[in-house]
Chains A and B, each alone.
Chain A
């Protein structure tokens, strides 16, 4: 079943069309990768899917409901969580509390209840703490629970952000370059994490530069180049696609390597 239907999404910045009439589907229980050279519009597309930026045209249906026009908050409450290319952790808070903030997406109790220290608030806090511990164990970074996020190594920061996104209890998880800054061991752990996330019934969309990782984990790949979708299909097909090879060779020449 198609969990996410992206239809004709277009986003312009002045004269530049960052995302140009992009359509694709993400099927429930799969891992889909979005790849493309730098400036292909991957992050812009991500922002239009998560309420951080409104597309100029097009529609994004999540489980049949329109996401375009929703705030980031309403998007995450609808079940679509995300991470950021530049991790957006709360540096003063320990890793565990960072994950606990993710639980706020589905918590109810607010200001005045907290002020009076109502038992329901305490219970919610306890639940969030337990869930944070469980998620950090799932990802295999429970030993960092009390370390302030600002002191964490880059690789662990990415994983904490994934745990935080999972704490919002998403049905769809969007990861923006989760392997950036990870070493080989950490990348392998990330792959295992992604499999575990998929096993728990969560659909994943991942933007990634790291080709090996993309070819390994994804069920399907969408390739973007200069805002346009140039290919879509399973990894084996994408590897042989002439348009994809041309786009990546072009980038390699531009970067001189």
Chain B
């Protein structure tokens, strides 16, 4: 009974810690790092659903983040839409992009989706760079306003942090609801045996497409938040390297879990800014880590896939279980 109470308390304590962070941390840069961690977490929650539960690989999620970021930028800067509308549009455009990509590629078997997402990612990077009149080309698009939620001005480091983690928290809750109920069971079922799932009347293509669209939607919202926090978007951000980073977070975090990928997203984001977090760290060490960052991720994916397919999540969970872990 005590153990159960303790387990129920863990999420509450975590929420409290995440929420209270800006009250403790006053350094604006550090707070921004934690805000970026929240943005990455939002992307990785969607990827955890796609990869960890439905067993689909996306090598192009940065493109959906980019779609969201550019949509938000164009809507606020060029069209002067209210922020909330631009934010919703960013999610909608990314979700639509996900639908357009998923519908044809998910009808095929095997790794076609991974290949299609890779191609899609490259195509989008190219588009962001070349569609000058809309995207600003290589120079990017600046002057994106801070989020505006009507009566609440979101322009300080702390309020931005709260907004980002608030959205991530809601996304986590929604995705947890999906994974812990019927759709999540359908996902794990078709991951286990497509034939068996078909024999149960599971709409295989439907489940896969919906999963993909939801994860693209979350990536798009994350992109809009990124654009609004930074105030500037440029094509160099939404590249294959970024897609691999997101995938590394999801893989490291582990399959069948949401807490694992979430933790991995935060840890790997903080790793990029290790010099700001640990002031005493030697300059060279920090630089080495930052230089070889992508190599570290690539290596981490390979090592996890070979030696610990369960990822971080399996470290505190001994046997594979349903979706009861969040």
| Chain A residues near B (Cβ < 8 Å) | 50, 52, 71-73, 76-77, 81-84, 88-94, 97-98, 100-102, 104-107, 109-111, 114-117, 121-122, 124-125, 128, 148-150, 161, 164-165, 167-168
Contact = CB atoms under 8 A, between A and B. Distances in A.
Contacts of B210: 110-111
Q: Which of B183, B188, B189, B204 has the most C-beta atoms of chain A within 10 angstroms of its own C-beta?
A: B189
A101 B191 CA distance: 13
A88 B319 CA distance: 21
Contacts of B198: 52, 71-73, 76
Given A90-B189, A93-B185, A101-B185, A111 B199 contact: no
Contacts of A161: 196
A111 B49 CA distance: 13
B266 to A, nearest CB: 23
Nearest to A90: B192
A179 B106 CA distance: 36
B193 A111 contact: no
Given A101-B185, A101-B186, A111-B183, 11 more contacts: A72-B195, A72-B199, A73-B202, A89-B193, A93-B185, A101-B196, A101-B197, A104-B182, A105-B200, A114-B178, A128-B182
A121 B182 contact: yes
A147 to B, nearest CB: 10
B214 interface: yes
B200 A116 contact: no
Given A89-B192, A93-B188, A93-B322, A125 B200 contact: no
Contacts of A97: 185, 322
B285 interface: no
7 contacts: A52-B195, A76-B201, A90-B188, A90-B191, A93-B189, A97-B322, A101-B186
B133 to A, nearest CB: 36
Contacts of A104: 182, 185-186, 200-202
Contact of A50 (B182, B199, B214): B199
A84 B204 CA distance: 18
Majority secondary structure, A binding face: helix
Majority secondary structure, B binding face: helix
Interface of B: 174-175, 177-178, 181-186, 188-189, 191-193, 195-204, 210, 214, 256, 319-322
Contact of B200 (A91, A109, A110, A168): A168
A182 B193 CA distance: 22
Contacts of B321: 92, 94, 148
A101 B197 CA distance: 8
Contacts of B174: 115-116
A100 B199 contact: no
Contacts of A114: 177-178, 181-184
B199 A84 contact: yes
A107 B253 CA distance: 32
Q: Which of A90, A93, A97, A116 has the most C-beta atoms of chain B within 10 angstroms of its own C-beta?
A: A90
B197 A148 contact: no
